[in-house]
Amino acid sequence: MATEVINIHSVDEWTNQLAQAKQHGKLVVVDFTATWCGPCRFISPVFAGLAKMKSHIIFLKVDVDEMGSISQEFKVEAMPTFVFIKDETVIDRIVGANKDDLQKKVELHGESSSVSA
């Protein structure tokens, strides 16, 4: 089943997605982005493509201007920043629009969550 990237527009949505992921033992990959960010626009289709291929992983997109409190909580200082979360704990992060790094880390961290999914 193909999945889509879920855009987060409220703290409640964010909390709900993390709770569901923890309950089902799923990896969450968060794209902290901004509408004005060129590299973010470049990497966005790559992120969406990964979401379609990896249905056992939850892919979230957080606009840093819209959801500043979440961005601050995760100490996001540059866009894009990708944060990998498992059991509500940050296990990895990538700063910058590095397609190869993003694909490798999704593979690396996604393998362990596909076993329990």
Catalytically active residues, by annotation: 37, 40
The DSSP bridge pattern shows strands 81-86 and 6-8 to be: unpaired
CB 113 within 8 A of CB 86: yes
- Nearest Cα to Cα of residue 80 among 23, 42, 24: 42
Which residues 6+ apart lie within 8 Å of 27 measured at CB? 21, 56, 57, 58, 84, 85, 86, 109, 110, 112, 113
Tell me the three state secondary structure of residue 47.
helix
Cis before 45? omega within 30: no
